[in-house]
């Protein structure tokens, strides 16, 4: 009897336990679909307690990324990206200052100086040597004065050191008086900042040289066109050994003397045939002015007056002192009438190319001329 009861009890216990197990399997199998997993995976999953854990995770994973990643993405890039952009290009600029050669230094200086239409601001100074220098603080000679007119105005070479302008303002009425002319015709002085010129002038670079024509000033004010086209007469004969009596007059001697007489004048350059005539007419004159009149190439239609270095120009290089004589010695002019000068030798082989002399560059001029070139202009 007790054994049956115990057996029944045991059987009913097993039944109850089995029912509970079945019920658990059914609840577990219903939960997974919420996790979004494929429906096919639900069926094969055995009735274990594990599948219940992955289910809660997907929702937070989906909910968090949209909420947190955007702000992080917005803040980080703007703060960190610009920095590397700046640091990359900076190493490059330091390479440029290493270039010490200014490309301007190798250009012909005549082009650089001819391009300057105005003088520099500041103190007037003649810099360097007459054929290798420049001019600071240049002053313009008015193109028309009471007793002078400037020729070739379009060249813009009526600029000089103030000493030269003062000399011309004083010389013009003086020359007019001593010759009986209305006045003088003035050729080239210097460019606004001096320096080499595009034409054949070798000097005229420091604002201390001026060409003055062997021609009386007309009584009317010349037009710009006349000033550009009228040519100065050649006072030397075709053989280059004597004067042309049609163009040469005694007034020309008075004209030259009026220039050479001035204490600030260093040299007056004339053609050798003119010097020869001066020696013939004025040879006994030993008061000094004859010594300043020296023969040079060209100068058959104008005199070239060169002033001494001004006191205010410490960088002006003086010309070697004149020989003590008057330049009228027995053989003094022989060289100038030699075949070497009058009939320069032609090249032995006609095909030999003539190499033109190298144009002066900025590097050939005094360093101060580079400053003159870049200095602000005086309007
Ligand atoms: Zn000259």
pLDDT digits 0-9 by tens, 202-245: 899 999 999 999 999 999 999 999 999 999 999 999 999 999 99
Segment 103-116 shows an average pLDDT of 89
Predicted local distance difference test score (pLDDT) of residue 315: 97
Q: 110-124, 192-206, 322-336: which range is least confident on average?
A: 322-336
Collapsed DSSP state (helix, strand, coil) of residue 135:
strand
Residue bearing the bigger pLDDT, 135 or 38? 135
Residue bearing the bigger pLDDT, 56 or 146? 146
CA of 295 to the centre of ligand 1 (A): 12
CA of 159 to the centre of ligand 1 (A): 14
Distance (Å, whole) CA 189 – CA 206 = 9
CA of 158 to the centre of ligand 1 (A): 13
252 φ, ψ (degrees, to nearest 5): -65, -30
CA of 13 to the centre of ligand 1 (A): 140
Contact call for residues 212 and 133 (beta carbons, < 8 A):
no
Segment 84-95 shows an average pLDDT of 51
DSSP, res 287:
S
Contact call for residues 167 and 264 (beta carbons, < 8 A):
yes
Count other C-beta atoms under 10 Å from residue 341's C-beta: 14
Distance (Å, whole) CA 259 – CA 270 = 12
Predicted local distance difference test score (pLDDT) of residue 173: 98
47, pLDDT greater than 50: no
CA of 299 to the centre of ligand 1 (A): 8
pLDDT tens digits along 267-295: 999 999 999 999 999 877 666 899 999 99
CA of 188 to the centre of ligand 1 (A): 7
Strand partners for 295: 270
CA of 239 to the centre of ligand 1 (A): 22
Predicted local distance difference test score (pLDDT) of residue 127: 98
CATH number of 105-350+358-374: 3.30.1380.10
Query: Using 50, 70 and 90 to split pLDDT, how confident is the model at 54?
Result: very low
Predicted local distance difference test score (pLDDT) of residue 343: 83
Predicted local distance difference test score (pLDDT) of residue 288: 83
Predicted local distance difference test score (pLDDT) of residue 95: 55
CA of 304 to the centre of ligand 1 (A): 5
69, pLDDT greater than 50: no
CA of 293 to the centre of ligand 1 (A): 14
CA of 203 to the centre of ligand 1 (A): 7
CA of 133 to the centre of ligand 1 (A): 15
55-69, 243-257, 282-296 — which one is most confidently predicted on average? 243-257
Predicted local distance difference test score (pLDDT) of residue 68: 40
Percent of the chain at pLDDT > 90 equals: 58
Segment 349-366 shows an average pLDDT of 77
CA of 34 to the centre of ligand 1 (A): 109
Distance (Å, whole) CA 65 – CA 226 = 92
pLDDT tens digits along 19-40: 444 334 433 333 333 333 333 3
Count other C-beta atoms under 10 Å from residue 349's C-beta: 7
What would the DSSP string read from start to end of 194-208? -S--SSS-SS--SS-
Query: Using 50, 70 and 90 to split pLDDT, how confident is the model at 250?
Result: very high
């Amino acid at each position: 009897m007790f054994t049956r009861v115990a057996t029944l009890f045991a059987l009913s216990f097993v039944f109850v336990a089995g029912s509970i197990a079945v019920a658990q399997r059914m609840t577990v199998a219903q939960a997974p679909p919420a996790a979004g997993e494929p429906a096919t995976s639900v069926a094969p999953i055995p009735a274990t307690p594990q599948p219940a854990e992955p289910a809660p995770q997907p929702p937070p994973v989906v909910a968090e990324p949209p909420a947190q990643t955007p702000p992080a993405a917005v803040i980080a890039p703007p703060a960190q990206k610009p920095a590397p952009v700046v640091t990359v290009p900076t190493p490059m600029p330091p390479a440029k200052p290493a270039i010490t050669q200014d490309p301007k230094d190798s250009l012909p200086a005549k082009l650089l100086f001819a391009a300057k239409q105005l003088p520099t601001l500041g103190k007037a100074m003649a810099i360097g040597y007459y054929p290798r220098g420049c001019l600071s603080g240049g002053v313009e000679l008015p193109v028309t004065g009471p007793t002078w007119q400037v020729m070739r105005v379009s060249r813009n070479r009526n600029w000089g050191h103030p000493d030269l302008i003062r000399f011309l303002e004083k010389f013009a009425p003086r020359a007019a008086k001593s010759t009986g002319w209305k006045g003088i015709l003035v050729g080239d002085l210097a460019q606004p900042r001096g320096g080499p010129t595009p034409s054949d002038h070798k000097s005229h670079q420091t604002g201390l040289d001026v060409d003055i024509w062997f021609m009386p000033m007309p009584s009317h004010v010349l037009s710009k066109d006349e000033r550009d086209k009228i040519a100065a007469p050649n006072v030397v004969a075709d053989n280059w050994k004597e004067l042309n009596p049609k163009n040469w007059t005694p007034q020309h001697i008075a004209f030259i003397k009026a220039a050479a007489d001035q204490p600030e004048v260093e040299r007056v350059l004339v053609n050798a045939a003119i010097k020869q005539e001066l020696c013939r007419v004025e040879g006994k004159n030993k008061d000094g002015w004859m010594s300043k009149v020296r023969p040079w190439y060209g100068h058959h239609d104008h005199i070239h007056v060169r002033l001494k270095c001004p006191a205010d120009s410490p960088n002006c290089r003086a010309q070697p002192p004149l020989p003590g004589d008057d330049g009228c010695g027995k053989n003094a002019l022989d060289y100038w009438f030699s075949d070497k000068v009058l009939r320069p030798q032609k090249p032995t082989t006609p095909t030999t190319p003539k190499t033109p002399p190298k144009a002066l560059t900025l590097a050939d001029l005094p360093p101060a001329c580079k400053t003159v070139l870049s200095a602000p202009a005086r309007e």
